Every structure is written in C-alpha cells, then in structure tokens.
A = this chain, B = another copy of it.
Amino acid sequence: MGSDNTGEFDLIARFFAPLAAPDAYSLTDDAALLPAIPADHRWVVTKDAMVAGVHFLPDDPADLVARKLLRVNLSDLAGMGARPVGYALATAWPKGIDIAYIDAFSEGLKHDQHHYDVTLVGGDTVSTDGPLTLSLTAFGTVGPSGPLRRNAARPGDDIFVTGTIGDGMLGLRAAQGLLAHMKDADVAYLADRYRLPQPRCDLGAALAGLAHGGMDVSDGLLADLGHMATASGVGMEISSQDVPVSATAIRVLNDLDLDLKALFTGGDDYEIVFTAGGEHLDAIVEIAQRTNVPVTRIGSVVAGGGVRLDGAEIDLAAGGWRHF
C-alpha cells in the first residue's frame, strides 16, 4: 500500500504497540512469549472471530466493537473458570477505512485492558476488499482445581445462571433500530447489553473446583443447556419463572407480543450457566456477593438427557443451535 498511513507497520506502531506488554516480544519479534505461570497451572485459550454485518452492525461505534470482541473471548475464558492474562489480535481492515475508526477501536481495547487487567501480546494487521473482519485469541490460566467443563454436570446438581437472560437478543433489535417506538431508556439499556457484554471473569475463576458443569451462555440459554446436557450425559430441567430476566426485557417482550421463551432461545447473553451440588449453596452465595454478580438457581440436573422447560421437552435442533 506504499507509504500511506494505513501501512501495517504504521498502524501497529501508532495504535497497537502502546497496548502491548513490553515483555511479550511479539511486536518486535516473530512471536509472543507468554508469561511464566506456576507449575500446577495450565493455559486456557479461546479464539472468536467477528465480521461486520454478521456479528456486529457496520455503524456500531468502533470502541464498542473492539470491547465486545475482547469481552466475548473473556466470557469463554470465564466459562472455563480461567483467569484472563492476555490476547492476540488479527484485524483485516477494509481498504480506505477511516483512521479515526482504528483510533477509536484501539481506545476501546485500551479501556478494557485496564478494566480486565489483560494486555495485548501480538497479532497481525492486514487489509481486505471485504468487510471488517476481526479475530481475537485470549489466553487465561487455571489452577490445580482445573477448568470448568461442560461434561461434568451430575444428576442432583442445582443449575445456576448469572445476570439476566435475553437482554442481548432484544438488544440486537434495539441496536438495529427495530424498537424505536419504545422508551429511550429501555432501548438504550438493551442496546448496551447487546454491544457490551459483561464477562463474569471473577465469578468464573472462583467457581473452579466448586461447580461441576460450567460454560458461558452465548448461543441461547436452552441451546447451551442442551450442549451441557449432551456433553454430560444428563437431563436439564428448568422453570421459566425461575430464569432471571430484566424488567426492561419483560416490558419490551409484552410490547412485541413475544413469549418469555423467546428470551431463552436468543444469543448474546454472555452469562455463565453452571451446576453444583446443594452442599455448595452457601459458598455460591458468598462468591456471588464477593464478585458482585447476581446468581440465580433455575433448575435441576436429572438422570437421562435433553432439556425440559416447565416440564415440556425442548426441540434443541429448532431452538438456537445455529448463530449465523
């Protein structure tokens, strides 16, 4: 691209080098060196891609796109009970993209790096004739109690979920301008929930060694319960009245004449669903208070298979398995 200011080296030096951990090497070497960790710890790695027009809206603010990209990966780490440490970033910028967009994007990353105490370790910056395409690889660590797994739910466990379910699914509609007739404050609340997930990092890490099954909720609550039921070889029974939903979601749901179940089949929640034996209830309450994350019991793990909502078997093939 010659000497214009979107050349790879200029972009890296101007916007991404300031975000990098100086001892990670990657911005001056071929690859990054991850920090040393205790001998009884292990690295956990996740990688999510986002494409403009598919995973975010072309007019979403650049800083929020960057923060969502980082946060959906941190949510995966939280779902594994891993404590986040750093990330690598690959960006394919459309030719001719406004430098102000890249500037705002890097500012968003900077903000969330501080918030979650993670650093950029390296990556790649290329150009594309297509839409903005982003890929982020996040690195975290788990201690001797090991990662949370989807395959570890046991019959008799209680099922818990963090935060509220369904705001992300309604938030997409809000961000798309489809709720323009609703109250401004409701639209803003939901759009923010869609654009800026709240990964439950501290809570996820605290659950390691205590919870049995665990994962993040990103494909829709019922679909993700189905994933865990299948991986664990168990059944999941939940009650719709127990699933935490926001007052805003209820208002909007009524206005749209949608059933409560719609909230449980949308995606973009980025909460944690986990199971634990009843003897851990006090410890879970303590963790919820300490990490300032609401945790709600929504049902029970049973022998068998499948997911039942209010006693009715859910057809998982129809309910949110696919998210593109």
Contact = CB atoms under 8 A, between A and B. Distances in A.
Interface of A: 1-3, 7-9, 25-26, 28-34, 36, 39, 42-51, 53-55, 75-77, 79-80, 82, 88-92, 121-124, 126-131, 133, 135, 137-140, 142, 147, 149-151, 215-216, 231, 317, 321-324
Contacts of A323: 8
A91 B47 CA distance: 11
Number of identical protomers: 2
A47 B28 CA distance: 14
Contacts of A54: 126-129
Nearest to A137: B137
A79 B49 contact: no
A126 B215 contact: no
Contact of A90 (B48, B53, B77, B324): B48
Contacts of A28: 150-151, 231
Contact of A147 (B25, B123, B137, B215): B25
B33 A42 contact: yes
Contacts of A49: 90-92, 124, 126, 135
Given A9-B322, A131-B129, A322-B7, A26 B51 contact: no
Contacts of A124: 47-49, 135
Given A33-B43, A34-B42, A133-B133, 11 more contacts: A1-B322, A1-B324, A7-B321, A28-B150, A29-B215, A30-B75, A30-B215, A31-B76, A33-B45, A47-B124, A130-B133
Given A131-B129, A324-B126, A137 B29 contact: no
Contact of A51 (B34, B89, B130): B130
B51 A127 contact: yes
8 contacts: A1-B324, A7-B321, A26-B45, A30-B76, A31-B80, A33-B44, A33-B147, A45-B137
Given A28-B151, A29-B215, A122-B47, A39 B39 contact: yes
Given A76-B31, A79-B31, A129-B131, A123 B47 contact: yes
A36 to B, nearest CB: 6
A314 B286 CA distance: 65
B90 A25 contact: no
- Which of A3, A28, A121, A216 neighbours the largest number of chain B CB atoms within 10 Å of its CB? A28
A41 to B, nearest CB: 9
A51 B1 contact: no
